[in-house]
Amino acid sequence: MQPIWTFLPGLHGNTSLFAAIENEIPEGIDTEFIELPITGNQNYTTLSSWLNEQLTWEQPRLLIAESFGGPLALSLAKLRATEISGIVLAASFCDTPVHPNLALLPLRLLFMVTPPHQALRHFLIGKGANEEEITSLRQAIQKTPAATLASRVRAILELQEHDNPPLSDTPILLLQAQDDNLIPWNTQQRLEACYPHASVHWLDSPHLILQRRPRLCFDAIQEFLGNLNVVNTASIRREKPQS
């Protein structure tokens, strides 16, 4: 049975920025684009429990998680090891990518300020983004209350590498952005070290890799799934009893 491609969003928590990758997915592939709740506790334990209850599990799922959604996918995979056929982490992390002292700042007030175009280009969407893409990004961020965004940042700041489940039996694909100005190089390296069995695919992209390089991401995911099918078929053949 083919898995449902289940997309988990970044810090903004909504589906606004998935249009580019959605346009690359042909008919015949089941997809689900998740919006996170904007009220209640925003830590990873609470959100993964919420997802576990909200999603249906009659069909296997491929979790495709962007940035903030990465640790959420890892936590959910621990709860649903048999129902999740694989995980794709897009420009994500396994522990906090920023200094924990960031928690001392008035995060809620910072998110109440309209983000300048230059900052959005530098940290998120890249220099090549046009005005329409910048506007869409800004709108996606502003759809989420400042208090919710601040709570999610605090959840990131609490992340520690040893908190992540090993998931050695879960296939993982890491889509890494070469020009990521938000996730430091050493954080990307720690993610690869945390999941040494993962396939790693580096793309010439800023942080918002699903938005800026949707076709390349889709091709990498298709190749990842194709390799899994080859491995699974070979395993079935080895286990088939001799007549």
pLDDT (0 to 100) of residue 208? 96
pLDDT in tens, 117-149: 888 898 899 988 888 999 999 999 999 999 999
- pLDDT of 233 > 70? The answer is no
Q: End-to-end CA distance of the chain, in Å?
A: 26
Which carries the bigger pLDDT value, residue 100 or residue 31?
A: 31
Judged against a pLDDT cut of 70, whether residue 243 lies above it is answered with: no
Q: Which residues pair with 175 in a beta bridge?
A: 90, 201
Q: Which residue bears the tokens 């959910």?
A: 76
Inter-residue contact 64 to 221 (CB < 8 Å): yes
Confidence at 97, pLDDT banded by 50, 70, 90: confident
Instruction: Return the pLDDT at 176.
Output: 97
In whole angstroms, what is the distance from residue 93 CA to residue 124 CA? 15
Task: Between 101 and 121, name the one with better pLDDT.
Answer: 121
Q: Which two tokens stand for residue 35?
A: 């919006």
Residue ranges per structural domain of the chain: 4-239
* pLDDT for residue 2 is more than 80: yes
Rounded distance between C-alpha atoms, residue 218 and residue 186, angstroms: 26
The rounded distance, in Å, linking the Cα atoms of 145 and 77 is 28
pLDDT for residue 6 is more than 60: yes
pLDDT band at 232 (very low <50, low <70, confident <90, very high): low
CATH topology of domain 4-239: Rossmann fold (3.40.50)
The kind and range of the H/E element at 33 are: strand 31-33
Report pLDDT digits (tens) over 148-179: 998 999 899 888 877 789 899 999 999 999 99
186-224 tens-digit pLDDT: 899 999 999 999 999 999 999 999 999 999 999 999 999
Give the Cα separation of 118 and 243 in Å (integer). 67
The pLDDT assigned to 236 comes to: 37
Expressed in percent and rounded to 5, the helix, strand and coil fractions of the chain are: 45, 15, 40
Are the C-beta atoms of residues 152 and 13 closer than 8 Å to each other? yes
- Angle of helix 44-54 relative to helix 69-79, nearest 10 degrees, comes to 60
Mean pLDDT confidence for 94-111: 60
Query: What does the buried/exposed string (b/e) look like for 183-199 if buried means 16 or more CB atoms within 10 Å of the residue's CB?
Result: beeebbebbeebbeebb
Burial of 155 from C-beta contacts in 10 A (0-12 / 13-18 / 19+): buried
Whole-model pTM: value is: 0.90
Q: Look at residue 116 in the predicted model and tell me its pLDDT.
A: 79
- Residue 227's pLDDT is what? 87
